[in-house]
Structure 1
Amino acid sequence: MRLELLRNATLKINYGGHVLLIDPYFAPRHSLPSFTGRSPNPMTELPRSIDDILQGVDLVIISHLHTDHFDSVAKERVLKSLPILCQPGDEGSIREAGFTDVTPLNAAAIWNDLTFTPRQGSHGLGPVVEKMGRVIGFTLEAAGEPTVYWAGDTVFYPPVAETIQQVSPDIIVTHSCGARWDGDLIVMDAEQTIAVSRLAPRAIVIATHMEALDHATITRQDLRQAANAAGIDSSRLLIPADGETLQLD
């Protein structure tokens, strides 16, 4: 398995002989409004061209329709005939954008010998969830590959812990920037990412969705310092830079 962090939640993964693109967010730096007044978004450029990113992609996964996970540029540039997996309820909007092969992940699904299983997530807790809307995570399995749990835009709460305990994934991908909306935490922060690492001592945790949006409160350095203080080894908690590729066997 090879995983490349492009920016924010956007990943390109080589897995089971296929190339997966997750949550394409292709907007140019500072082309979208600020969430907090601190900076226009996204705060960074893509590490390489969109043409390069799309080269070889076999399947696109869209976890939800927030613009930092599927934006107008991606709607224009992603090939309309590419197969797309999405959360139930989003398929109509994606088809309206011109995509012709859209499948909601209602239950475990097999695509070319890869098994995708939807997993619960919560984009915050309490009233903020109504503002954020529904989100989805998933687990990914294939013969000869590590089991992956992509948690998505969720805080650490009981269903996430239950997925980790039930699945025992080899790789866990978290969104760890500590983003807040009206003061409420809407994705994991350093403390919650460390809790994931402690719950899954045999897994490699990969912290993503960092330093791209102005409502984030945790930097890569903040997370590394907190993990070091908590005794979480850097070999178990990976914090890739934009454009960095990880080989995960």
Structure 2
Amino acid sequence: MKLQLLRNATLKLDYAGTTILIDPDFGSKHSRPSFTGRSPNPMVELPVSTDEILAGVELVIVSHLHADHFDKVAQELVPKHLPLICQPGDEEKIRSFGFIDVTPLTDGLTYEGIHLTRRDGNHGSGPVLEKMGNVIGLTIEAEGEPSIYWAGDTILYPPVREAIATFAPDIIITHSCGAKWDGLLIVMDAEQTVDVCRIAPEDTRIIATHMEALDHATVSRDDLQAYAKAHDIAKHKLLIPSDGEILHLSAPNA
């Protein structure tokens, strides 16, 4: 498999012969308002053009409708004929943008030999949960490919721990910028990401994303790397890609 981190949560995944675009956010630097007064968002430009991002894409996954996961620019530029998978409850809104092949991931489905399973996520805790709304993660499997658990916009809480324990993925993709809303954590921070490294199977690699793009983040890549080093997490265990970086990863026994 080949995985490219584009910016924030936006990923391009080549997997089992299919090119998948996950959570496209195509807005230009500083095109949206600030969350905290620190900076307009997104704080950085995309590392490559949207034409390059969209080249070859065959399937789109949208985990939820926050602007940094499916913004107005992406809603316009992503070809409307592409099959799009979303969380239950978002399908009618996405169809209103002109997309014609929208499927809610209620439990599991198979696309071109790739099996996708919905996983629960909590976009925060306590009173902030209602403000953030519903989100999903998902697991991805195909013959000859490493299994993936893409946790999505969630904190580390019991269903995430359970998904790691029961699915035992080869790769876990976390959102690790420590973003906060009303003072409460709404995605994983350095401590929770390191906890994921500790509870994951020994050979599992964790890929930390969703960093250095939004002004309500509290953890940078350097912060996470330093925290992981201080807590004896090996570099090969926790990967922290830069925007635009491409990772080539194989199944353990491939």
Q: Which residue of the partner structure matches residue 31 of structure 1?
A: 31
1: CA distance, partners of 2:241 / 2:37: 27
1: CA distance, partners of 2:191 / 2:183: 16
How far does the alpha carbon of each residue in 1:6-40 deviate from its partner, in whole angstroms, 9 at most, with x for none? 00000000000000000000000001000000000
Q: Which residue of the partner structure matches residue 168 of structure 1?
A: 168
Local SS of the residue matching 1:154 = coil
User: Please, what TM-score do these two structures have when normalized by structure 2?
Assistant: 0.98
Q: Which residue of the partner structure matches residue 208 of structure 1?
A: 209
2: CA distance, partners of 1:126 / 1:170: 31
Q: Letter of the 1:191 partner, please give it.
A: E
User: Please, what TM-score do these two structures have when normalized by structure 1?
Assistant: 1.00
Q: Which residue of the partner structure matches residue 237 of structure 1?
A: 238
How far does the alpha carbon of each residue in 1:153-189 deviate from its partner, in whole angstroms, 9 at most, with x for none? 0000000000000000000000000000010000000
2: CA distance, partners of 1:44 / 1:123: 23
Shift, 1:202, TM fit: 2.0
Q: Which 4+ runs in 1 deviate beyond 4 A?
A: none
1: CA distance, partners of 2:75 / 2:108: 26
Q: Letter of the 1:30 partner, please give it.
A: H
Q: Letter of the 1:215 partner, please give it.
A: H
- In structure 2, stretches of 5+ residues that fail to align are none
2: CA distance, partners of 1:21 / 1:80: 13
- In structure 1, stretches of 5+ residues that fail to align are none
Local SS of the residue matching 1:65 = coil
1: CA distance, partners of 2:77 / 2:188: 30
How far does the alpha carbon of each residue in 1:91-121 deviate from its partner, in whole angstroms, 9 at most, with x for none? 0000000000000000110011100000000
Q: Which residue of the partner structure matches residue 196 of structure 1?
A: 196
Local SS of the residue matching 2:14 = strand
Local SS of the residue matching 2:192 = helix
Q: Letter of the 1:170 partner, please give it.
A: D
Q: Which residue of the partner structure matches residue 182 of structure 1?
A: 182
CA RMSD in angstroms, aligned pairs only = 0.4
Aligned pairs, how many? 249
2: CA distance, partners of 1:189 / 1:39: 20
Local SS of the residue matching 1:52 = helix
Q: Which residue of the partner structure matches residue 117 of structure 1?
A: 117
2: CA distance, partners of 1:45 / 1:172: 25
- Do residues 152 (structure 1) and 131 (structure 2) align? no
Q: Which residue of the partner structure matches residue 77 of structure 2?
A: 77
Q: Letter of the 1:10 partner, please give it.
A: T
